[in-house]
Structure 1
Amino acid sequence: MFDTTCKFLAESFSSDFASWLLGEPIPLTELSPSELSLEPIRADALILLASEEYILHVEFQTEPDSDMPYRMADYRLRVYRRFPQKQMKQVVIYLTPSSSDYVYQTAFEIPGTRHEFEVIRLWEQPTQLFLESTGLLPLAILTNTPDQAQTLRQVAERIDAVPEPRVQSNVAASTGILAGLTLEKDFINKVLRKEIMQQSVIYQEWKEEFLQEGEQTGILKGEQSLILRQLTRRIGDVSPEMRSQIQSLSLDQLEALGEALLDFAEPTDLVNWLKKNQTN
């Protein structure tokens, strides 16, 4: 959700991101990852933007990623194969603070080969820069600010001054989603006008995704409850350890357990089934 929101911002406000990452507001258009590969390519948290001279490749990450250096080198070669004449800027943007060594890696290196890329840790960036561009406003809350609550209020003031309703709603919704990484929902809703956020495309997509996830969670919990009741009838009380293992099963695994438990006669049957079927 957070990575998708950042991708939406980079696509919608590409000139603001170009000014920030390239140093000038170069007009950029989205480049489909499918143009770069003969095989499937990971595309859920990245954005590729192209101009006549440049390709800007941005990866948004909420968590450290040990595979990032390899992936950046891989993309660079794919882009060179397709656009050998274009310059390329590659940036990994980490959204949330981390002490992991991975967020400091800026190169992929194997014997005879070295590829470098840029890393931006948002929590180290000065806040003022992000308050000066509409497309960067939602990221301001994640920067090096001594008072996140006050920064959100400043962002809200600037959002209210945006003249275009559609842009205003998209920026407000994106801000609300990203602010959720660090602030409480009630405070976010108090500072940002919910009626404006609800008009945004990104808000509607997020709401639909949230509801779908909630529905899946409800189904999973219902299946867990049913399985545990059936197990209690078949083999007696289920130990806390066994309950924990059952709660870690996927929906497909729970359905398989629901069929298998009809043949259970004692607790060891459950223990043996979990050993055989549970994946770590």
Structure 2
Amino acid sequence: MYKNCYETRRTRHEFDVLRLWEVEPKELLKKVGTIPLAVLAGRENKEALLATVAQRIDELTSGRERAEITAATYVLSGLALSDNIIRKILRSEAMRESVTFQAILEEGEQQGLQRGRQEGRQEGRQEGRQEGELQGKRQTVSRLLTHKFGVLEANTWAFVEQLSAAQLEDLAEAILDMTSLADLEQWFVDMIS
């Protein structure tokens, strides 16, 4: 049983319940405000019904009203039809003028911007961490080499600057076992081959 009344101590509101599947679509096409609901009404072929709704929308004289009704029809039609069919039948350029469509579009753009910012921050943090880790490993290797062998040639430092984080870790461990610059040069040769 469907309720058709809402009561509080001070007010009473009566209303009619419409079960769209029991309503004739023609009845909903008569009033501008119910046109978007017509595609959900009855048990007819929904694609053909949407085409009828689109014709009725085209008859509207106010461009603003046409845009709003098109947007509402587009949204409600998504409950019964695929997006491809809806796009094929409804003129999307009229819908784009709708304040409803513009609001949905703006919300989507804001969400996209926010998501992009969050992803950008995360990527920036990750890159910063990786760069900081790499720089820290270079500094450690530099200090170990300077401590072990003293001042080294520029080409040695240039080679160290090209090493990855994993290679720097390997070199740091290898330095502990090195006894001469020849050991360091051999490590570089082994790394290249």
1:153 to 42, 51, 62: 51
Distance verdict in 2 for CA 1:216–1:145, change over 3 Å = farther
Residues 178-189 of structure 1: pairs in structure 2 closer than 5 A: 178-189=76-87
Percent identity between matched residues is 34
* In structure 2, distance between residues paired with 1:214 and 1:124: 40
Larger Rg: 1 or 2?
Answer: 2
Partner of 1:173: 71
Partner of 2:30: 132
Q: CA deviation at 1:122?
A: 1.7
**If the length of structure 1 is used for normalisation, what is the TM-score?**
0.37
Partner of 2:102: 204
Q: How many residues align?
A: 121
Q: CA deviation at 1:215?
A: 5.7
Superimposed CA distance per residue, residues 71-97 of structure 1 (whole angstroms, 9 cap, x where no aligned partner): x98x621xx52xx4xx6223xxxxxxx
* In structure 2, distance between residues paired with 1:141 and 1:218: 37
Distance verdict in 2 for CA 1:210–1:144, change over 3 Å = farther
Structure 1 outlier segments of 4+, above 4 Å: 212-220
* In structure 2, distance between residues paired with 1:139 and 1:164: 19
Q: CA deviation at 1:132?
A: 1.5
Pairwise CA RMSD: 3.1
Q: Which amino acid aligns with 2:13?
A: M
Residues 241-256 of structure 1: pairs in structure 2 closer than 5 A: none
Q: Which amino acid aligns with 1:88?
A: H
* In structure 2, distance between residues paired with 1:147 and 1:176: 17
Q: Which amino acid aligns with 2:82?
A: E
Distance verdict in 2 for CA 1:219–1:191, change over 3 Å = same
Partner of 1:88: 13
Distance verdict in 2 for CA 1:181–1:212, change over 3 Å = farther
Q: CA deviation at 1:124?
A: 2.5
Q: CA deviation at 1:147?
A: 0.5
* In structure 1, distance between residues paired with 2:43 and 2:107: 30
Q: CA deviation at 1:175?
A: 0.6
Partner of 2:154: none
**Runs of 5+ unmatched residues, structure 2:** 127-193
Q: CA deviation at 1:161?
A: 0.8
* In structure 2, distance between residues paired with 1:197 and 1:149: 18
SS at match of 1:170: helix
SS at match of 2:66: helix
Superimposed CA distance per residue, residues 111-157 of structure 1 (whole angstroms, 9 cap, x where no aligned partner): xxxxxxx5432223221111211111100111113200001100111
**Runs of 5+ unmatched residues, structure 1:** 1-67, 91-117, 230-280
Distance verdict in 2 for CA 1:181–1:214, change over 3 Å = farther
Distance verdict in 2 for CA 1:119–1:203, change over 3 Å = same
Structure with more helix by fraction: 2
